[in-house]
Structure formats: C-alpha cells, structure tokens
Structure 1
C-alpha cells in the first residue's frame, strides 16, 4: 500500500492525496512535478529511479487506508 506522503521532499510544498502534481519513485520518495522536472530530470535523486505520477486513491478508500501525515524533507 502506497504511503501517499503529504509533501515534496525537496521544496516541502503540500501534496494532498488527490494531488495530480505528486511524483514518486518505486521507493515512494515523493516530489512535486516542478521539482521532478526542474531539478531532477524526472529521476529520483535518492535512488536514481524514474519519478512518475502518483496514483490517486479514491476518497472512499482513503477512509479505510488514509494518506500518511509524516512529512519528509531531504537535507541537501
């Protein structure tokens, strides 16, 4: 189950569960679309994997499996 982290690890902007701006790698590192494109060329700076659009969890499923509230911000 994806964590659906609430923010970009680089700029700390909010990325709510329904955000179309969230990008993730296979390890669930999470970045906004801007940071993914501008700073990382769509490659995760942590693992080198591809950053892709994070899927949207339907609202009725968020009730059963809520998004994470833990904010992760990388120290660069």
Structure 2
C-alpha cells in the first residue's frame, strides 16, 4: 500500500494526504510540485525515475489505512537540484 509520506523530501513542506501538490516516483520518493519543477529533466534526484501526482486516498480509507507520519528529508537536496545528480 502506498505510504503517503507527510512532507517533501527536499524542502520539508507539509504534504497532507489530500495534497494536490504531492509527487511520487516508483520508489515512493515524495516531493512537492515546486521542487520537482526545479529538478533537471523533472526526474527524481534519488533514483532518476519520473514523477506522477500522488493519488488522493479517500477520507473513509484513511481511518483504516492512515498516512505515514515519518518525515524524510534528503541531505543535500538543493545541491543535487543545482548539479543535476541523481541515482540511488
């Protein structure tokens, strides 16, 4: 099941389960749309994959399958944005 991480891994902005700004890659790396727009080629700085809007889990299902509360912030994200480096 999709983890629904609570924040952008780059700028740490909150991304609640209903956020239309959340983007995920195939490894569920989670970023906000604003940060994704700055990544060279629009690809994930962790794995190099492409992004898709994160699905919205219906409120009724959040009670049974809550979103994650574990915040992940990638060290050096802003430097990777500038240099175009990726690869997990």
Runs of 4+ in structure 1 over 6 Å off: none
Unaligned runs of 5+ in 1: none
Which TM-score applies when normalising by structure 1?
A: 0.96
| Cα contact 1:12–1:73 (8 A) shared by 2 | yes
Aligned equivalents of 1:40 and 1:68: distance in 2? Answer: 28
Equivalent residue, structure 2, for 1:71: 71
Relative to its length, the structure with more helix (as a share) is 2
RMSD (Å) for aligned C-alpha atoms = 0.9
Matching of residue 24 in structure 1 with residue 24 in structure 2: yes
Deviations 1:9-67 (A, max 9, x none): 00000000000000000000000000001234421001000011000000000011000
Aligned equivalents of 2:75 and 2:22: distance in 1? Answer: 19
Which TM-score applies when normalising by structure 2?
A: 0.83
1:23 alignment partner, SS class:
strand
1:46-57 aligned within 5 A: 46-57=46-57
